[in-house]
Amino acid sequence: MIEPTESESREELDHICDAMLQIREEIAAVERGEYPLDDNVLCGAPHTADELVDDNWGRAYSRQQAAYPLVTLKEGKYWSPVGRIDNVYGDRNLVCACLPLSEYQ
């Protein structure tokens, strides 16, 4: 979810719009059959620096597409320290690390 405020610069808002347009293009590439459903830039994101320099790059898309889907990222990319840990499990399953209720009595 994007919630721009008056504190966001026009440049930052343009970056967000560019990213959304690029994501849509990546979806369209899968729809056109250019990449398989289970091996495309969207499924592999976020790509860590370690993944990109690994000699065993066996993906259907290029390292260039993974690292810099937008030219503007070459100057100021945030490198995620981790990839997807459990895919969407955490999004679909509530996990509570709290003590059991009996411990609070």
Least confident of 8-22, 30-44, 77-91: 77-91
* Confidence band of 98 (pLDDT split at 50, 70, 90): confident
Nearest-angstrom CA–CA distance, 94 and 103: 20
pLDDT at 1: 59
Each domain of the chain, given as residue ranges in start order, spans 10-104
Nearest-angstrom CA–CA distance, 68 and 48: 12
Residues in the chain, total: 105
Least confident of 39-48, 50-59, 65-74: 65-74
Q: Are the CB atoms for 40 and 29 separated by under 8 Å? A: yes
Which positions ≥6 away from 35 have C-beta within 8 Å? 29, 41, 60, 61
Nearest-angstrom CA–CA distance, 80 and 100: 33
Give the burial class of 41: count Cβ atoms within 10 A of its Cβ; 0-12 exposed, 13-18 middle, 19 or more buried: buried
Q: What is the pTM of this model?
A: 0.67
Structure tokens at 98: 């709290």
